[in-house]
Amino acid sequence: MAKKKNNTGIFIGIAIIIAALILAPNLNFEFFSTTTNIDSTTQNKLDTQEAGDCYATLDKSVVNVGDEVGGVIHDGKNTLCEVYATDGITWVKIAEGTTNSNGDLRFMDTINIPGTFTFRVICGACITKAVTLQVNPLAGDCTDTDGGNVRTVPGHVTLDGVSYYDYCLDVGDAVHEYWCDGNFMREDNYMCDYDEHCVATRSGGYCAQDVEEGYNVGDEVFYYGKSLDSLDGGYSVELHLDDADIETGGPCHLGARIFRSWDYLVPGCDGSVGTVDWTLFDSSGFRWGVYDTSPTSQTVEVCPCSWDGVTNWYFEVVNTKSPNCPIEFEYAFTIYVCECD
């Protein structure tokens, strides 16, 4: 489950510390989503070419986040070696350095991001055999609100005090799911079934069954607006949601998309004292409010709002500017289905 992360394609960042007597001034490991793509010939070589006499070794093949790991690249003396790595998706060039007079280039680093990474090194005409490093996440106190790896229930994982919410992917009906495996957090992408679509809620994204009847997220069920009018004092309106025949008691919740705009009617009022106050009351009472000190034109979304099927909503606008500063205002309400459980 998860808050949407911003590290898609970024799988590790490594600062290399070169051991004494080994010179590798250009050796600096970094994986970025914006890393310059390598050419297709090099990609194919890394995928298919058999290893030569050169080699790369790691001191450890399995470490935990925060552990130090080192390794050695070996080829002829004073040979420029280019280091490439992949997280299973694509190869990127992450480093280069020159071997010493013994043909060795040694590196050490502290790894801070979990994952499984494969490395190959091209030294001149030689390419090394692939070596793999597994970096395990640290065990923590992992909890999951939806019961595990369940794509049809919204939820989130909390690990070491940080919450990760399931979320809908930007392309197609698919969900990014988080779950706990013991005290470790796991994550993966899942396509929704052909008769499902991904629904984003405050509790997390999930795959929901398509329904032919009832409401879907985004459905607009009520609209009310007022064109430009002057105001020197207060204004209120009752929003008769009962006229819209909106069902209650189901799994979906209403929200309000509120457009508001105002400006002064007379010159010389810029910077005048007072505010223009906007307030929404739903069936439960006060739901939203804002005050403007200067003219504005903007839209806000308030979700969820309460509708009990009986108590209508009220909307108020109050101009507390000086009596010599009347305003011209307008607003529009769109009541819509903002989320479903």
Q: Which residues pair with 134 in a beta bridge?
A: 62, 116
Which among 75, 72, 81, 125 has a CA at the least distance from the CA of 103? Answer: 75
Predicted confidence (pLDDT) per residue in 273-301, tens digit: 888 999 999 989 999 999 998 899 999 99
From residue 130, alpha-carbon distances to 91, 101, 252 in Å are 12, 24, 52
What is the full DSSP assignment across 243-310?
Answer: GGT---SSSEEEEEEEEEEEEESSTT-TT-S--EEEEEEETTEEEEEEEESS-EEEEEEEEEE---SS
Q: What is the 3-state secondary structure (H, E, C) of 106-172?
A: EEEEECCCCEEEEEEEEECCEECCCEEEEEECCCCCEEECCCCCCCCCCCEEEECCEEEECEECCCC
Predicted confidence (pLDDT) per residue in 172-192, tens digit: 789 999 998 877 888 889 999
Q: Is the peptide bond before 295 cis (omega within 30 degrees of 0)?
A: no
> Would you state the pLDDT for residue 245?
64
Which backbone phi and psi does 243 adopt, to 5 degrees?
A: -75, -20
Helix segments in the chain, DSSP class H? 40-48
> Would you state the pLDDT for residue 109?
76
- If one compares 179 and 252, the residue with the highest pLDDT of the two is 179
Q: Per residue in 318-338, is it b (16+ CB within 10 Å) or e — as a string?
A: bbebeeebbbebbbebbbbbb
Predicted confidence band of residue 64 (pLDDT cuts 50, 70, 90)? confident
> Would you state the pLDDT for residue 211?
59
Rounded Cα distance, 112 and 69, in Å:
11
Predicted confidence band of residue 134 (pLDDT cuts 50, 70, 90)? confident
Q: Is the pLDDT of residue 8 over 50?
A: no
Sheet with 220-231: strands ordered across: 220-231, 327-340, 252-264, 296-305
Residues 6+ apart with CB under 8 A from 112: 13, 65, 66
Asked if residue 3 lies in contact with residue 164, where contact means CB atoms within 8 angstroms, the answer is: yes
Q: Is the pLDDT of residue 5 over 50?
A: no
> What's the whole-number average pLDDT of the chain?
80
- If one compares 15 and 44, the residue with the highest pLDDT of the two is 44
Q: Is the pLDDT of residue 120 over 90?
A: yes
Q: Is 219 helix (H, G, I), strand (E, B) or coil?
A: coil
Most confident of 57-71, 83-97, 166-180: 166-180
- The answer to whether the predicted template modeling score (pTM) of the entire model surpasses 0.85 is no
Q: Which residues pair with 83 in a beta bridge?
A: 95, 121
CATH H superfamily, domain 40-136: SOR catalytic domain (2.60.40.730)
Rounded Cα distance, 96 and 291, in Å:
58
Amino acid at position 184, single letter: F
Which among 297, 300, 299 has a CA at the least distance from the CA of 329? Answer: 297
**Distant-in-sequence contacts of 20-23, Cβ < 8 A, 24+ apart:** 21/100, 22/100, 22/104, 22/105, 22/106, 23/98, 23/100
* Sign of the dihedral through C-alpha 191, 194, 195, 197: positive
**What average pLDDT score do residues 42-58 get?**
92
Asked if residue 18 lies in contact with residue 73, where contact means CB atoms within 8 angstroms, the answer is: no
Secondary-structure class of domain 220-340 per CATH = mainly beta
From residue 180, alpha-carbon distances to 183, 184, 293 in Å are 6, 6, 48
Q: Is the pLDDT of residue 121 over 60?
A: yes
Q: What are the boundaries of each domain within the chain?
A: 40-136, 144-209, 220-340
Tokens of 41: 């010939």
> Would you state the pLDDT for residue 25?
32
% pLDDT > 90, the chain: 24
Which backbone phi and psi does 335 adopt, to 5 degrees?
A: -95, 125
Q: Is 43 helix (H, G, I), strand (E, B) or coil?
A: helix
From residue 49, alpha-carbon distances to 37, 76, 140 in Å are 19, 19, 41
Tokens of 38: 């390598």
Rounded Cα distance, 98 and 84, in Å:
15
